[in-house]
């Protein structure tokens, strides 16, 4: 498993996941391995307008193409670090399980994932993709923890990360 041959970095295009992708690219450059960027298109995204509802397939295709365009742009940026970057887009109701499925299918040796730092009822309602990945992954997981919004308002000179198996 170490040194890794493939590092998987799930992204949702938030600042947190972009930062985690940068860390994953740095690790891939250090270990001389490939980087796989993954995005899971929600199978039930925000509801389209009544007109778009009747063109559901086109709507879903548009979401997928937009995600792939963003992934390619991020991959191009990260490849400047001298890393071979691949991308994969999945479709799922359960993003965590889709990340795990893609990781297992591609034999990922390490997953680098950001957590949004949600606490309290937000975490209870929305769950945690990162937590599910940590609990169920068959490979080591590096979790890069963001600061909850309250803590982000005050300048902080420390970052938090957790490595787990």
How many Cα atoms occupy the beta-carbon half-sphere of 68 within 13 Å?
10
**Confidence class for position 141, pLDDT limits 50, 70, 90:** very high
Note the pLDDT of residue 135: 93
- Which domains does the chain possess? 6-164 (3.40.50.620)
Which of the 8 DSSP states describes residue 49? P
pLDDT 10s digits, 129-139: 888 999 999 99
State whether residue 46 is helix, strand or coil: coil
Look at residue 111 in the predicted model and tell me its pLDDT.
Answer: 97
Residue 117 confidence (pLDDT) above 70: no
How far is residue 135's CA from residue 2's CA, in Å, rounded to a whole number? 20
In the beta sheet, which residues pair with residue 119? none
User: Which two three-digit tokens encode residue 38?
Assistant: 């993954």
The pLDDT, as a whole number, for residue 61 is 82
* Mean pLDDT computed over 87-98: 92
Residue 124 burial (CB count, 10 A)? 10
121: exposed, middle or buried (Cβ count in 10 Å: 0-12, 13-18, 19+):
exposed
């Amino acid at each position: 498993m170490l040194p890794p041959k493939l590092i998987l970095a799930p992204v949702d295009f938030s600042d947190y996941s972009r930062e985690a992708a940068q860390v994953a690219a740095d690790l891939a450059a250090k270990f001389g391995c490939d980087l796989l960027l993954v995005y899971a298109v929600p199978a039930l995204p925000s509801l389209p307008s009544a007109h778009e509802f009747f063109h559901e397939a086109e709507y879903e295709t548009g979401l997928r193409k937009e995600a792939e365009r963003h992934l390619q742009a991020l991959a191009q940026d990260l490849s400047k670090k001298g890393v071979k970057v691949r991308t994969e887009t999945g479709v799922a109701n359960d993003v965590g399980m889709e990340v795990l499925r893609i990781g297992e299918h591609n034999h990922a040796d390490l997953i680098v994932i950001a957590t949004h730092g949600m606490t309290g009822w937000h975490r209870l309602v929305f769950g945690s993709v990162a937590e599910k990945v940590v609990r169920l992954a068959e490979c080591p997981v590096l979790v890069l923890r963001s600061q909850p919004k309250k803590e982000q308002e005050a300048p902080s000179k420390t970052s938090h990360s957790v490595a787990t198996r």
